[in-house]
Chains A and B, each alone.
Chain A
């Protein structure tokens, strides 16, 4: 009984250890908008940028989707050339992949942090202002 218990605990420990290691190797780090504007990055360096889509900022121009994202403090304009996921909408958290050029972010890949909760326009489920640290 005791022996089995120890074996099970060891097994669980091993799985947790192994998956934490693998998880940390498969993480996608991203910068918030404030961080991005503070750090120095060259025009060609690709980074990941995360934030919330600002209301009424989405527009289309040719094949590009233009919108603004924020972390509650700083806004960055995004010019996006890629497939826009259906889940993409205002107030939604997105992670973009691309380069920063004169405070405009050129992205071609988007990851939507999706939640099946509808976030209403007056920020019922979360408040962008409260979000910042």
Chain B
């Protein structure tokens, strides 16, 4: 039943979008966008209802949910795998289409809505023609469903028990929130793309109107992308017991690339608005932002990561590749129509003034994006050319991306007060003499005390200087100046990044780990602290068995645990016990349990809490900007 209703309504949604694409009357545009939004909300709720009613005649539910799955994870199963996540993708897309229509619609032409509907046709089309989350099950597997149909009103078979979501995904509530955040960020990048292409197509857009709208529409996706990436890192660290937060894994890289590009665009859009320069560059950035999100989906969803040869198995890959071509074509055609407009772009006169620094910022952010992109596709290209499998070590990223980010950090120092005309460095150093000296002294002290690499010293010196200068700036100017939201947003975001850099450099350079073999009711010492290990406790929940091991230092007791999920033959998932102080985390995971003896991995991770604080500050810095949305 749910299967048929869902499929029929997907078809309706698809036809409405096609009508919207060809529609010429303004009046119908709004109605169609609204109905489409309602249908997408309905489809989302429908699949949720199916998940909660355990309707295992729907293939997706049989394969990614189970009777014993707890409610929260049942809810989250909707985006637990490809077909369902496209449903969420479409819902976000229709929400953004509605938002765009209400707030940013180009008044003189309908082309932006047409491009938007084309993009939606593309994604809804996938659920209609290729694989629907509502596909009914027509052949059972041992557990779950092995064959399904995308036609409605078929004879369906119902499996008695669902397979359940991936154990990794049901281990912690963060995993339920992190993907939708990223989706909102990803999908939102459609808005600036539509704003730019739609407006530049009509003559009316050839003022800087398009870049203003494109900038405003980038705020929401940028914010959600930042939060999504942060939550992903937090989940990875606090829940997965590997002790790290970022692995330069392709899946992570493809969320980082649009973030870098969007950050670059948020900066360079400003310079276009005030000085009418970098017009063509901004157009390219907006296009790349959007295309990189589709590229990201392609990379993570098509199977190319497993092997280039696995690519031919799934059809989503070809489909997305086709979409990328189509949208690039639209982008290039509209761009080439505007060559004469772009050539009006003013030259940059002051290479050490405001515009110059914004250009440097763009050069380094864009280079970082390019480097991450190359690192991500390098193994794929290598395999295609030489038929030999490789992966890229993380040293690649450390060697290139690290310095780039460090230079960016240095540039932020100058962002506090930038004259339009060239900066007088001598005057600048004279003004901030004391602060520069004191941060240099601090770094020399660190060098002597911690006896560490110059990277650490340079990073600490720059971030401390940035933090101190920002605070001085707050103290001096926050009240006196007429509050300029956009300026202070930037300053707070930079402050967050500086704090984050302190944390990350401490973490990278100072952390260490060791293995301990120990029995119940014994103690071990680590980093001048004694830790007492109790006896393990077994707990049986409907969906999993948990073995908890209490460990206490003098003041608190924390649990490290192994989660063994029923219904799935996967190995256990371990969760860490984290003893947190401001400066460092003592991070303990169980490697192995045998009766009353345990093998523990004990890590001393520096700077994690400082990193989270920095990222938090950077993320919330953007909230006041959203208020400007309504204008």
Contacts and interface: CB of A to CB of B under 8 A. Distances in A.
Interface of A: 1, 11-12, 15-16, 18-20, 22-24, 26-30, 32, 50, 55-56, 58, 60, 62-63, 65, 83-90, 93, 95, 111, 113-118, 120-122, 124-127, 130-131, 133
Interface stretch (B5-13, B204-212, B322-330, B367-375): B367-375
A32 B300 contact: no
B241 A86 contact: yes
B481 interface: no
Contacts of B141: 121-122
Given A83-B601, A120-B144, 12 more contacts: A18-B400, A20-B378, A23-B375, A26-B393, A27-B393, A50-B389, A58-B569, A63-B592, A86-B168, A118-B80, A121-B143, A121-B163
A53 to B, nearest CB: 10
A131 B309 contact: yes
Interface in B279-329: 300-301, 303, 305-307, 309-310, 313-314
A83 B382 contact: no
B594 A62 contact: yes
Contact of A115 (B306, B345, B589): B306
24 contacts: A12-B370, A15-B370, A19-B374, A27-B392, A28-B392, A29-B388, A55-B569, A58-B569, A63-B591, A83-B591, A86-B240, A86-B574, A87-B168, A88-B571, A113-B391, A114-B249, A115-B300, A116-B251, A117-B82, A120-B163, A121-B142, A121-B163, A125-B314, A131-B309
Nearest to A30: B389
Contacts of B167: 89
A118 B387 contact: no
B363 interface: yes
B320 to A, nearest CB: 14
Contacts of A58: 569, 571
B343 interface: yes
B82 to A, nearest CB: 6
A86 B236 CA distance: 10
A23 B392 contact: yes
Given A19-B400, A23-B374, A55-B569, A86 B305 contact: no
Interface string B211-247: 0000000000000000000000000000011100000
B570 A19 contact: no
Interface string B354-380: 000000000100010011001100110
A20 B242 CA distance: 29
A126 B375 contact: no
Contacts of A130: 309-310, 313
A115 B388 CA distance: 20
B154 interface: no
Contact of B242 (A1, A15, A85): A85
Given A15-B371, A86-B242, A120-B63, A30 B378 contact: no
Contacts of A117: 81-82, 300-301
Nearest to B348: A4
Given A20-B374, A115-B251, A30 B301 contact: no
B361 to A, nearest CB: 15
A111 B394 CA distance: 12
Contacts of A127: 313
A64 to B, nearest CB: 9
Contacts, number: 142
B242 A83 contact: yes
Contacts of A28: 390-393
Given A118-B81, A120-B144, A125-B303, A95 B391 contact: yes
B64 interface: yes
Interface in B331-346: 343, 345
Nearest to B574: A86
A16 B251 CA distance: 21
A86 B64 CA distance: 19
B399 interface: yes
A30 B390 contact: yes
Contacts of A22: 396, 399-400
Given A19-B400, A122-B146, A29 B569 contact: no
Contact of A27 (B301, B382, B387, B399): B382
A27 B627 CA distance: 47
A47 to B, nearest CB: 13
B599 interface: yes
B516 to A, nearest CB: 13
Nearest to A26: B396
A130 to B, nearest CB: 6
Given A118-B165, A118-B166, A120-B63, A113 B393 contact: no
A74 to B, nearest CB: 15
Nearest to A12: B370
Contacts of B400: 18-19, 22
A62 B390 CA distance: 32
B228 to A, nearest CB: 13
A16 B374 contact: yes
A63 B570 contact: no
A88 to B, nearest CB: 6
Contacts of A83: 242, 589, 591, 601
Nearest to B388: A29
Nearest to B391: A28
B592 A126 contact: no
Task: Point out which of A27, A55, A127 has the most chain B C-beta atoms below 10 A from its C-beta.
Answer: A27
- Of all A-B residue pairs in the complex, the 9 with the closest CB atoms, nearest first, are A118-B166, A26-B396, A27-B390, A89-B570, A26-B393, A126-B310, A86-B240, A19-B374, A23-B378
B395 interface: yes
Task: Point out which of A63, A86, A89, A125 has the most chain B C-beta atoms below 10 A from its C-beta.
Answer: A86
Contact of A113 (B163, B166, B306): B306
